[in-house]
Amino acid sequence: MTWLLLLLWLTPVYADKAESESATPSPEIAKEAKRSETPNDSHQHDGRELAATNDDAPDSLSATETETETETETETETITISIDVDLPSALDRMDQSAAEQAPESNPDLSAWLDPESDHSMIRGRFGVRPRLGWTGWVGQPGGAMRAGAVLRHRWWSLLPLGPQWTGESAIAGSLSFAGARGPEAYLHSLAGAWVGPVSVMLGPRLAWQSTRFHNGAALSGGLSLGPLASAAAQIGPLALQLGGGPGWLLAGERGSAGPAVGDEWLGMAGLGLQLGVVEWGLRGQVLGSEAGTLLDLSLAINISLR
């Protein structure tokens, strides 16, 4: 009986202890429960981050679109489309008209100086002048015939105002016969100006002459060089010419004429009549030398080649 009462008294005590033990988990169970709760917490964190990301999504999307538009604007290339078509213009016609009229109204310097140009301010003409004459000493009997030719070129300017420039270059040769023998040759180049009907020219003259007459008188050969001055006047178809100058002997047997300037002197005068392209002329020349004064008279026909 006593054991029965003791058993009944202990039964509630053990039942409360068992309930308390069952309510308090063991350390292993607590660790396992904590380990199982950790993924849930991470999911919660991920959910919060996702929510935050979703909240920021409109701003991120707007920034991305802005960057895309900026890159699009930066990378935009300009494409130029051109069509090469040669269309006439009124300016082209004006330029062409001005170019056609320019040579007449305002020619350039090369056109003025080119004798072949239609707008040249310089004109020139070649001419051939055959001549036949007589030569002899002044104050002495006898004489001889002389025949030869002159090739010359004349040029002149066509300026609108002021003096007109002019010039002449010539080369000549002749031989004496019928009473004397010997050659004569000269070369000169003159330049000057026309003032109204009068021209004045100056330039060098190089000459060689040797003449031996049958009566014994002779002009020894000699090469001379000196200045030649020429003055001319044009009166209608008539042309008058005067000229002359000293000369210095460069080579030959001929000696000096005396104490005057140079070793010898030359004087000449001419009268010309222009009839078309042909000019008839009479020319007289005197040469003062050591042997005396030699006179030369000739008839010339100047034929213009252009």
Q: Is residue 82 part of a domain?
A: no
- Determine the Cα–Cα distance for residues 222 and 226; give it in Å rounded to an integer: 13
Q: Is residue 130 part of a domain?
A: yes
Q: Is residue 12 part of a domain?
A: no
Range of the domain at 251: 121-304
Give the DSSP letter of residue 191: E
Q: What 3-state DSSP class applies to 92?
A: helix
- The tens-digit pLDDT sequence of the chain (306 residues) is 555 555 556 555 444 544 444 444 545 544 554 554 444 444 444 444 444 444 444 444 454 555 555 555 555 556 655 544 444 444 344 344 334 444 444 445 454 455 555 456 788 889 999 999 999 999 888 899 999 999 999 998 888 778 899 999 999 999 999 999 999 999 999 999 999 899 999 999 999 999 999 888 899 999 999 999 999 999 989 999 999 999 999 999 888 877 678 899 999 999 999 887 788 999 999 999 988 899 999 999 988 776
Q: Is residue 51 part of a domain?
A: no
Q: What is the CATH number of the domain that holds 161?
A: 2.40.128
Domain total of the chain: 1
Distances (CA, A) of 43 to 35, 37, 56, 116, 228: 14, 10, 20, 108, 128
pLDDT, tens only, 106-149: 445 454 455 555 456 788 889 999 999 999 999 888 899 999 99
Q: Is residue 78 part of a domain?
A: no
pLDDT, position 2? 54
pLDDT, position 286? 95
Q: Is residue 113 part of a domain?
A: no
Cβ neighbours for 297, distance < 8 A, ≥ 6 positions apart: 133, 134, 135, 282, 283, 284, 285
- Determine the Cα–Cα distance for residues 189 and 201; give it in Å rounded to an integer: 9
Query: Is the distance from CB of 117 to CB of 82 less than 8 angstroms?
Result: no
Q: Is residue 205 part of a domain?
A: yes
Q: Is residue 211 part of a domain?
A: yes
Place of tokens 């021209």: 199
